[in-house]
Structure 1
Amino acid sequence: MLLAVPTAAAGAVAGAWWVRGTGGQSAPGPAAPAGGGPAARQSPSPATAPAVTVVPTGPALVTQTQFHSAARGRTVSMVVVSPAVGPLDGLPVCLVLHGRGDDARRGVALLALDSALAVAVRAGASPFVAVAVDGGEAYWHRRAAGDDPEQMILAEVLPRLAAQGLRTSRLAALGWSMGGYGALLLAERHPDLVAAVAASSPAMWRTYGASAPGAFDSAADFAAHRVLGQPPATGVAYRIDCGRGDPFYAVSRQSADELAAGERAFGAGGHDPTFWRAALPAQLAFVARALAPAPS
């Protein structure tokens, strides 16, 4: 069924959604191999760009699928935003990691991602597919209670995308606030998988005591998943954006220097969707360049 998304103050998805519920999923993908190792995320990596047709007018196509995540112990939604029609074989993927209090669908609406991605590709950016998934409020890493959004990405999301013909052997990650931290963490822990990170206002703290309540289980959990103060991951390109009025401004500047971010922007703005939407076009262009196929 086609479901219209109403306009909201936080932003709205302008296009149509094709919603597949848990009772009507089609081709949800193969069962994930245990452990989520390399075999769980292999897909073809063509040397040249696939033959696709860019959406000529209007927003990109938004598809929502639900599946039961064993890693998270609950049913989650995965939202795929594609600026191309027809077969998606070989198109690369950019994971979109939402902030605290959001989910996959609200995150796509928050950024008006369907419109922004279509505009970027029509303007000449190399096509890629943006994929958002529900990560809860676990700060994108395994928690003591068993919720593990990182394992969900590796062992459940990527095999489903590979089954659709998408290229998942090397991808990008984009996120804001909690999701910005999550994108940086994913690259740090899996540099063989993540080629580029675009982080807006990444939620980072210098000490466990300064962190937001519930962000980490303990001081040991904080230390095991630390991003601030770490060097860049080998082979990963970084872009960091943060407004001068954002509480994470100082740590974002510090992280951009530590990670030798090739692109950064620290202009006016706060910790809000207005700034994140304003930063998005440059971030999408950055991701497109990082994921573009090598010339044949």
Structure 2
Amino acid sequence: MVEDYRAAARTLSRRSLFATTGLVGLAAAGAAVAAGVNAATEADDVQRTQHAENIGQTAMGLSPVISTERVYSKARGREIDLVTILPPGATAENLPVSLLLHGLHGTARTAAVGNIADLLAAAVATHVSPAFGFVALDGGDNYWHDHGNGDDPMSMLLDEVPGWLTQRRLAGKDGLPFACTGTSMGGFGALVYARRRTERSQPLSAVATMSPGLLTSWTEMAKRNAFSNADQWAALDPLRNLDKLGPAPVGLWCGDRDRFIDGCRRFIATAHPEIGLVTPGTHTEEYWRTVTPDVLGFLSRHVR
């Protein structure tokens, strides 16, 4: 089966292959599994169904190489999980990686929504995508920024992750991720991370956001207890700091009935991202499984 997909990969474009092979089928199968589990989710939690890790293996005989380690983050003042998601058979030596940021009440272990880990394995094995990996970390619930309580996940991403990746011989000599991918709160964090990398003259090559937590009302954002006040939120809100995001191409995917749809529509209209796609769906695993093939296609075009 793997050889059949590899043959197909040599004759079809990346975009058409994502649309015609089992990759979209994987997403659809995962959506059916997830529908009954997550369709009624109302919090910003990003949850992966208990069967997600089996979908890719069942459909294509391929599985990602996933490892979880405990590391101490000085910036966060605690031990955290560091999860690496690599395609099967790929050498780790200098392998490009994208950060993978989880949503509110999520963890590094739940960051790989939408069956994206299994889709990565299939895409790389079939040569639809150049080889790259994901790295996920526990970021807490503060929208990936310093809340002023000694817990600074953004500094962790900027100052500690490069060293951790270098130790694992990932992401080249500088240990810098080429991209950042985030869902919900993690999408907000991915855009802030892109801004910070630009400020350091180390711009990303791509930013991929699924249902990013772009709210347009302080009343709504205040309910999340992630910012000290409206001014702190305004200083970081990507919608009000578009000129600071930097040159990295941005992809944004959001369901038309998602709680963040108003902010996402505004971002698409004003930031003009490389991809700004609104399709039927809500803030659920079922929806994310419909867009992760396109997310991977976007990332694959910007691997460096």
Query: After TM superposition, is the score higher than 0.5?
Result: yes
Alignment pair present for 1:182 and 2:185: no
C-alpha offsets along residues 88-122 of structure 1, whole Å, 9 cap, x if unaligned? 112111100001111011223x4333212112223
Report if aligned partners of 1:246, 1:269 keep a CA contact under 8 Å in 2.
yes
2: distance between equivalents of 1:145 and 1:289? 39
Alignment pair present for 1:115 and 2:127: no
CA RMSD of aligned residues (A): 2.0
Alignment pair present for 1:159 and 2:163: yes
Report if aligned partners of 1:230, 1:259 keep a CA contact under 8 Å in 2.
no
Alignment pair present for 1:288 and 2:300: yes
* TM-score normalised by the chain length of structure 1: 0.77
Alignment pair present for 1:198 and 2:202: no
Q: What is the match of residue 49 of structure 1?
A: none
Comparing both structures, which one devotes a greater share of its residues to helix?
Answer: 2
Q: Secondary structure at the match of 1:159?
A: helix
Q: Secondary structure at the match of 1:80?
A: strand
Q: How many residues align?
A: 245
2: distance between equivalents of 1:194 and 1:75? 27
CA separation of 1:187/1:86 partners in 2, compared to 1, >3 Å: closer, same or farther?
closer
> How far off is 1:162 after superposition?
1.6
Q: What is the match of residue 147 of structure 2?
A: 143
The list of structure 1 runs, each at least 4 consecutive aligned residues, that deviate by more than 6 angstroms after superposition, is none
Pick from 242, 263, 277 the counterpart of residue 231 of structure 1.
242
CA separation of 1:86/1:277 partners in 2, compared to 1, >3 Å: closer, same or farther?
closer
Q: Which amino acid aligns with 1:119?
A: A
> How far off is 1:235 after superposition?
2.1
2: distance between equivalents of 1:87 and 1:242? 33
Q: What is the match of residue 43 of structure 1?
A: none
Alignment pair present for 1:241 and 2:248: no
2: distance between equivalents of 1:166 and 1:239? 24
Q: Secondary structure at the match of 1:96?
A: strand
* Bigger mean CA deviation after superposition, 132-141 or 271-280: 271-280
* TM-score normalised by the chain length of structure 2: 0.75
Alignment pair present for 1:267 and 2:270: no
Pick from 265, 271, 290 the counterpart of residue 253 of structure 1.
265
1: distance between equivalents of 2:90 and 2:115? 22
> How far off is 1:86 after superposition?
5.6
Alignment pair present for 1:129 and 2:133: yes
1: distance between equivalents of 2:211 and 2:137? 19
Q: Which amino acid aligns with 1:14?
A: E
> How far off is 1:132 after superposition?
0.7
- Matched-pair identity in %: 31
Structure 1 spans left out of the alignment, 5+ residues? 1-6, 16-55
> How far off is 1:170 after superposition?
5.0
Report if aligned partners of 2:194, 2:246 keep a CA contact under 8 Å in 1.
no
Q: Secondary structure at the match of 1:182?
A: helix
